[in-house]
Amino acid sequence: MTSQQVILVTCLGLFGSTRAQQNLAVELEQALHDVCGSIELWPGYDPLAVPLAVFDGKHTVLFRHPSPPEGFTFEEGLWTFVGRHPDVLANSSAMIGGVGTATVMLESISHMNSPEERAALVVHEGFHVFQGTTGRIWGANEVHLFTYPLDNAQLLALRRLETEALRRAFEAGDREATRAWAICALDLRDQRFALLDPDSKAYERGIETMEGTANYIQCQVEGREQPHLPDGGFDAEDVRNRAYRTGTAWAFLLDRFSPGWRETFGADDSLFLDAMLAGTLRDNPQPVKPGAFRDSEIAAIKEAAQRDVQTVLKRRSARLEEFESIHGWRVVIEADRSSPLWPQGFDPLNVHLVEGGVLHSRFIKLGNESGNMEVMGMTSLTEEIGPHPLFNGVLRIVVAGFESEPSATAEGDRVHVNSVGFKANFTGASIERVNQEVVIRLHMQ
């Protein structure tokens, strides 16, 4: 038993048997130790060397953190913070007390069936912390998520053909058939990337680099050797989640055809997973004929893509109508055009373009020189000030669904709002209540 495991057992004893069963944060940490004993997941990456912050619904618990920041207290063998620490926003990673830390919100993983599955997620998030220490560039510019061409049926059809070719590569019965379908997927990607704008292409590859590799490691911990690639492809709008899976697929195929690829990949910014695999497969001295789809299969996928692009457009209208119909109180923050609100954080997995703005179904944080606001667990609509739907600044945000009037106070030109799922602090502002809306107007300084 390691010294860290001794500490865990001591903590469990201090809690007593009943409390130990209830303390899911401690159980999660123990599961992490159980699954990571002797696995080498990636050169230089040790999940047990990465600090972990777990929000259990009432407290934030820190594990293995070298210098817990102000607000954490050491009680019964654990560093705890009352409530959700402001830096714990999702299953992700964050700088807590100046130290890269994996973050987990237990409520969001309650659907996972086993401690091992939950621990695998921690390994995934810890890998993001590790990525930040390697010196290479991982990830994508999230600005480009909002301008990805979701309404192009030709690109969608090619994307789904590529996904299906990857799926068949993993279902193939022998090495050569796997190689043939992998080459088919790469050929289809070449066709699609020739039509795709550079920003969107970089976005896909960036997410594959950052999230695809982390998901690849998560799959290894779970004992899986391939990602789930759905029959029929991904939803037309599901670009980010698809890149998680395709990145993982390229990584597992590299394991089969180019062992040792991870050492090279982790040290070179110019490398992308698909390009590495293409170089390996196409430079083979024994050429293989790529896998091929039947004409009827191609026609069916193209027809479905045409329908689904129309669905995307209708869905945007429906989401806006649904938002506008949400009952209850609302908070509206209106900025001056000369000093808009700027994104300080958002959840890229829970954003949707609608006419005139962006719907955020979980989290958004905005601010400017006069203050900031944060939404967590509620639906809000941001309205842009420039051509980009978010990153040229936000002129107005509407937060909907408060069961009762949010607590909003004003002291001179200082405005403070604190309600479940929402907080805001601004100077140079005024409050007006209109029907069931609390309207906060930010005035030019």
Q: Which residues pair with 416 in a beta bridge?
A: 409, 425
Q: How many CA atoms lie within 13 A of 176 on its CB side?
A: 4
| 88 burial type by CB count under 10 A (0-12 exposed, 13-18 middle, 19+ buried) | buried
| pLDDT band of 71, cuts 50, 70, 90 | very high
Q: What is the DSSP letter of 444?
A: P
Distance CA 126, CA 93 (A): 7
| pLDDT band of 40, cuts 50, 70, 90 | confident
Could you report the per-residue pLDDT of 151-193, keeping only the tens digit for each?
Answer: 999 999 999 999 999 999 999 989 999 999 999 999 999 999 9
Distance CA 352, CA 179 (A): 37
Our CA dihedral for 264, 266, 272, 273, rounded to 10 degrees, sits at 80
Could you report the per-residue pLDDT of 231-267, keeping only the tens digit for each?
Answer: 999 999 999 999 999 999 999 999 999 999 999 998 8
Distance CA 160, CA 176 (A): 22
CA 98 from centroid of its chain's CA atoms: 22
Distance CA 375, CA 364 (A): 5
| pLDDT band of 2, cuts 50, 70, 90 | very low
Name the nearest CA neighbour of 333 among 423, 404, 445.
423
Could you report the per-residue pLDDT of 200-216, keeping only the tens digit for each?
Answer: 999 999 999 999 999 99
- The beta-strand segments (E) located in 362-421 are 363-368, 371-376, 379-384, 394-402, 408-411, 414-419
Distance CA 379, CA 350 (A): 10
Mean pLDDT, the chain, rounded, equals 91
Question: Is residue 333 within 8 Å of 395, Cβ to Cβ?
Answer: no
Three-class DSSP category at 237 = coil
Three-class DSSP category at 309 = helix
Question: Is residue 144 within 8 Å of 203, Cβ to Cβ?
Answer: yes
> Residue 49: its pLDDT value, please?
95
Q: What is the DSSP letter of 99?
A: E
> Residue 285: its pLDDT value, please?
66
Q: Which residues pair with 342 in a beta bridge?
A: 367
Question: Is residue 355 within 8 Å of 316, Cβ to Cβ?
Answer: yes
pTM metric for this prediction: 0.89
Question: Is residue 211 within 8 Å of 152, Cβ to Cβ?
Answer: no
* Mean pLDDT value across residues 217-225: 93
Q: What sign for the dihedral angle of Cα 399, 402, 405, 409? A: negative
- Convert 248-276 to b/e letters by CB count within 10 Å (16 or more is b): bbbbbbbebbbeebbeebbeeeeebbbeb
